[in-house]
Amino acid sequence: MPRPKIYRRVEFFPDSTYFVPMGVPSCKLEQIDIMMEELEAMRLKDIEGLNQEECASRMNVSRQTFQNIIDSARKKVAMSLTQGKAIKIGGGNYISARCEFYCDKCKQTYKISKLEDKEICPVCGTAEVLCTKKIDVCRKWCRGDVKTQEEVIKK
């Protein structure tokens, strides 16, 4: 049986998710997909200037996994820049660091550590959980159909 997939923790979600080179006709334009965790790895290392161990810790992965993620991201960006390809940001195996959930049964608020925590409370095991965030980024970037407390109350 394969190991369960470890979801990478992502803190930043971009407003712009598609970049194209000027002067390349759209019919000839090729696209490179950069996953959310790859963008996060570049942001932590190259913009925030954290060391590899700090980056890995923030993303909830091992140092080797972090290195594999950032190597892949940098290769994709370099290919796009040198070969005139578009960059599309999205997808991947991640959870949002911004997501907090509330269990209606045990009245606990918790941050998700794995994707299953969005459907089942890790404290009491019930499925009576709600996303507590009322911001657009949660609706745009959360995986799955997540209802906020506000949306549930309206019903």
147 occurs within a structural domain? yes
Considering the domain architecture, whether residues 57 and 40 belong to the same structural domain is answered as: yes
104, 131: one domain: yes
Residue 2 lies in a domain: no
Residue-wise pLDDT for 86-102, tens only, equals: 999 998 888 777 667 77
pLDDT by residue (tens digit) across 50-62?
Answer: 999 999 999 999 9
Rg (CA), the chain: 18
pLDDT of residue 153: 37
Give tens-digit pLDDT for 60-69: 999 999 999 9
- 88 and 133 in a single domain? The answer is no
* Boundaries of domain holding 22: 8-94
Same domain assignment for residues 90 and 65: yes
Based on the fold, state whether residues 40 and 63 are members of the same structural domain: yes
Contacts of 32 by beta carbon, 8 Å cutoff, 6+ apart: 76, 79, 80, 85, 86, 87, 88
3, part of any domain: no
Task: Report pLDDT for 155.
Answer: 39
Domain identity same for 105 and 128: yes
116 in the same domain as 143:
yes
Query: Encoding tokens for residue 109?
Result: 């608020």
Verify that 68 and 16 share a domain, yes or no.
yes
Distance of CA 77 to CAs 3, 15, 56, 85, 155, Å?
29, 18, 20, 9, 45
Same domain for 84 and 106, yes or no, is: no
**What CATH code is carried by the domain that includes residue 70?**
1.10.10
Both 120 and 80 in one domain: the answer is no
Q: Do the beta carbons of residue 86 and residue 32 sit within 8 Å?
A: yes
Three-class SS of residue 69? helix
Q: Is residue 40 part of a domain?
A: yes
49: helix, coil or strand?
coil
Tokens of 12: 């930043």
The CA distance from 35 to 43, in Å, is 13
Q: Is residue 19 part of a domain?
A: yes
d(C-alpha 54, C-alpha 52), whole Å: 6
Q: Provide the number of structural domains found in the chain.
A: 2
CB 88 within 8 A of CB 34: yes
Quick one: pLDDT at residue 151?
45
pLDDT at residue 136, rounded to an integer: 44
Question: pLDDT under 50 in the chain at which residues?
Answer: 134-137, 139-141, 143-155
